């Protein structure tokens, strides 16, 4: 009798697991996105600086990123004052719990950086309040203040619990969300000045992207 009950429970668990595993990819229902064309090479007072190459990851880290993301974009921009911003965007069509975004805290640490001063913040844009994370990565004489955010499906979320909850919301409806990680950074010994510059860069970038692609980048805000 006990063996029969255990068998039924195991079968029920197996069926329930299949039901709860999301299989419908949101990315397949949306227009395809090409980061190289969506993100303009020139906007406002910014244009691409070909002389500066942003942080390159090692082979092992790159292999992990290739499993998570379908596309990556890495550029350095400079303005008329000679101020530079490094932009890194990664897009993944499958942001289920098994393939979650690779946070900069982890990526920079893997590259030998010391990562500290991590804090959650908000950036007020003309389109809504964007949840962001700030951190400082240091290695030798290099001080790199970083701003980044994560978009899961149609919503920008704080990495961690909010990110997991957003994935769960999609999963419970049988859907697998796509996702975006956007990182903006600069080399500076003055963090506050760097973050103000990064804020301005983000605002300038968002103002030059059409609404459908902007939603992919920062989510849709409630009105």
Q: What is the pLDDT of residues 171-211, one digit of tens each?
A: 677 777 778 899 999 999 999 999 999 999 999 999 999 99
The predicted-structure confidence for 19-47, as pLDDT tens digits, reads as follows 456 666 655 556 678 899 999 999 999 99
φ/ψ (deg, to 5) at 202: -60, -45
The predicted-structure confidence for 80-122, as pLDDT tens digits, reads as follows 999 999 999 988 766 554 445 568 898 898 889 999 999 999 9
- 3-class state of residue 98 by DSSP: coil
How far are the Cα atoms of 30, 48, 98, 146, 151 from residue 162, in angstroms, in the given order? 23, 33, 16, 20, 11
**Whether the predicted pLDDT of 126 surpasses 60:** yes
Q: State mean pLDDT over 62-73.
A: 69
Task: For CA atoms 52, 41, 149, 99, give the dihedral sign.
Answer: negative
The predicted pLDDT at position 86 comes to 95
Q: State mean pLDDT over 43-55.
A: 84
Contacts of 164 (CB under 8 A, 6+ apart): 97
> Can you read off the two tokens belonging to residue 193?
């000045």
Contacts of 183 (CB under 8 A, 6+ apart): 86, 87, 88, 89, 104, 146, 147, 148
* C-alpha radius of gyration, the chain, whole number: 20
Q: Give the chain's mean pLDDT.
A: 81
Contacts of 125 (CB under 8 A, 6+ apart): 202, 203, 206, 218
Q: State mean pLDDT over 139-163.
A: 88
The predicted pLDDT at position 22 comes to 60
Contacts of 105 (CB under 8 A, 6+ apart): 115, 118, 135
The predicted pLDDT at position 107 comes to 85
């Amino acid at each position: 009798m006990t063996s029969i009950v255990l068998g039924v429970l195991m079968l029920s668990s197996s069926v329930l697991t299949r039901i709860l595993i999301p299989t419908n990819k949101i990315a397949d229902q949306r227009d395809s996105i090409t980061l190289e064309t969506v993100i303009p090479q020139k906007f406002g007072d910014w244009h691409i600086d070909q002389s500066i190459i942003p942080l390159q990851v090692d082979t092992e880290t790159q292999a992990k990123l290739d499993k998570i993301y379908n596309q990556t974009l890495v550029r350095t921009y400079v303005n008329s004052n000679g101020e530079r911003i490094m932009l890194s965007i990664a897009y993944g069509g499958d942001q289920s719990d098994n393939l979650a975004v690779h946070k900069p805290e982890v990526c920079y640490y893997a590259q030998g950086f010391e990562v500290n001063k991590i804090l959650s913040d908000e950036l007020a844009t003309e389109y809504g309040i964007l949840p962001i994370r700030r951190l400082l990565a240091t290695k030798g004489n290099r001080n790199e203040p970083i701003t980044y955010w994560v978009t899961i499906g149609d919503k920008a979320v704080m990495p961690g619990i909010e990110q997991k909850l957003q994935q769960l919301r999609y999963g419970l409806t049988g859907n697998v969300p796509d996702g975006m990680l956007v990182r903006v950074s600069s080399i500076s010994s003055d963090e506050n000045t760097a973050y103000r510059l990064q804020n301005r860069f983000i605002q300038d970038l968002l103002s030059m992207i059409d609404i459908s692609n902007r939603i992919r980048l920062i989510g849709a805000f409630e009105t």
